[in-house]
Amino acid sequence: MSENHTSSIRRILETVFLKLISDGKMEPDRLADLKLRPPSNEGFGDLCSNCLMLLAQEEALKDEDNAALFIAPLKVLTFVQSVDVASNGYLNITIKPSYWFDRMVDLLNDFKAFEQSAATALKVRHQMVEVPQNSEGLTNARRVWNAEALGHLAVKLDCQLETVPGPEAQQAGFPAQAAIAKCGLARTKLAVLSNAPDFSVNFSPVLAIDASYDNPVFSLAYAHARIQSMLARVEKVSADGQLLHPISDSSIELNQRLEKQLLKMVCDWPDIAVQTWEKRDMLHLFSFLQDLTLLFFALVEKERPQSTDYLMETEKGGGRQLLFRAVDRLICEGLGLVDFDILEEFV
């Protein structure tokens, strides 16, 4: 499987920069300032970069058509629909709608290959983390559990994680055994890893298992349960338990705003895996999953799939079923990194 869209685009941007640096037209430290991210206004495109703004600051490049240096190689990418220069100087890139759907299908057909497409963007394949020997307080326990989860992620990304003894935190935090006694091991681990370290100091057993969409310990497992329930309803009226309607060209055009946002988030998983690995903190991955489930709940609230034909519509139903399955797959994969058994823990 080829590298994901973000990695491909970043590689092209960096290649142009490295050529300019080697030609003596740019200072080497400019590469560190290169940004590639979603634009503040989703109507501008799928990704934007400050590459042109950085080039404009170089004396040797002020008289050149800087945009052409990037637009031509970016348009060669088969999944790029358009590349435009915004009035504010940013380079805006729009991806073809079919790309997102095809990536989602790849995820469902071969998740291992989909996940390993992140490896093309990895700049660091060996990481070292310090692990305290005493994990009686949640602050230190968080570091131990974080290292364990990163170890699972390393296997998926074909990387290496090395753990070494490290100092204990000055603030031990809430007693780990007391938290586990009140919330259970799996829920305690997920609660502290899906929150910033200060949560371990000010830990609240009530907030840790609060049945709220804002609490990943509840929302991730609940989203899984909702998706399974809705897909089971679809399968009851399907003769063979497969998609009720075949996928057609029209079904890949999930053109509702929330559907498109959810589809694009699903395709961001490789980038999130890379970010989590490079930052060495599972908080990045669980923050992503929390945002994903909040978007899913917003879509469910709007469309009410269990009481409408939203998932069984002839034209779009098949694509929507795949979208829900993909969301569920990411939730299960993420929770698996912390050994959170959804069937056992969600009541």
Least confident of 48-57, 79-88, 99-108, 311-320: 311-320
User: From CA 191, how far away is CA 291, in angstroms rounded?
Assistant: 15
User: From CA 63, how far away is CA 56, in angstroms rounded?
Assistant: 9
Share of the chain above pLDDT 70, in %: 91
Residues 6+ apart with CB under 8 A from 68: none
Q: Is residue 313 part of a domain?
A: yes
3-state secondary structure of 266: helix
User: What is the per-residue pLDDT across 196-211, written as a single tens digit (0 to 9) for each?
Assistant: 999 999 999 999 999 9
- CB count, 10 Å around CB of 288? 20
User: From CA 191, how far away is CA 196, in angstroms rounded?
Assistant: 10
Q: Is residue 230 part of a domain?
A: yes
For tokens 């499987």, name the residue.
1
Would you say 331 and 276 are in contact if contact means Cβ atoms under 8 Å apart? no
Determine whether 211 is exposed, middle or buried from the number of CB atoms within 10 Å of its CB (0-12, 13-18, 19+): exposed
At 223, which CATH number? 1.10.730.10
Query: Where does the pLDDT of residue 323 fall: very low under 50, low under 70, confident under 90, or very high at 90 and above?
Result: very high
Would you say 105 and 322 are in contact if contact means Cβ atoms under 8 Å apart? yes
Q: Determine the pLDDT at residue 124.
A: 85
Q: Among residues 203, 196, 135, which one has the least CA distance to residue 163?
A: 135
What tokens appear for 108 in the block?
């469902």
Q: Is residue 292 part of a domain?
A: yes
At 48, which CATH number? 3.30.1360.70
User: What is the per-residue pLDDT across 216-232, written as a single tens digit (0 to 9) for each?
Assistant: 999 999 999 999 999 98
User: From CA 198, how far away is CA 214, in angstroms rounded?
Assistant: 17
The residue from 70, 95, 120 where one domain ends is 95
Mean pLDDT across the chain, nearest whole number?
Answer: 88
User: What is the per-residue pLDDT across 247-296, written as a single tens digit (0 to 9) for each?
Assistant: 544 444 565 889 989 999 999 999 899 999 999 999 999 999 999 999 99
Average pLDDT of the segment spanning 65-74 = 90
Q: Is residue 289 part of a domain?
A: yes
Q: Is residue 211 part of a domain?
A: no
**Do you know the residue count of the chain?**
347
What are φ and ψ of residue 303, in 5° steps?
A: -100, -20
Q: Is residue 22 part of a domain?
A: yes
Count: domains in the chain: 2
In terms of residue numbers, what domain contains 55? 5-95
User: What is the per-residue pLDDT across 84-139, written as a single tens digit (0 to 9) for each?
Assistant: 999 888 999 999 988 998 899 899 999 988 888 777 777 788 999 999 988 899 99
The residue from 51, 79, 95 where one domain ends is 95
User: From CA 64, how far away is CA 254, in angstroms rounded?
Assistant: 40
Q: Determine the pLDDT at residue 345.
A: 64
Q: Is residue 9 part of a domain?
A: yes
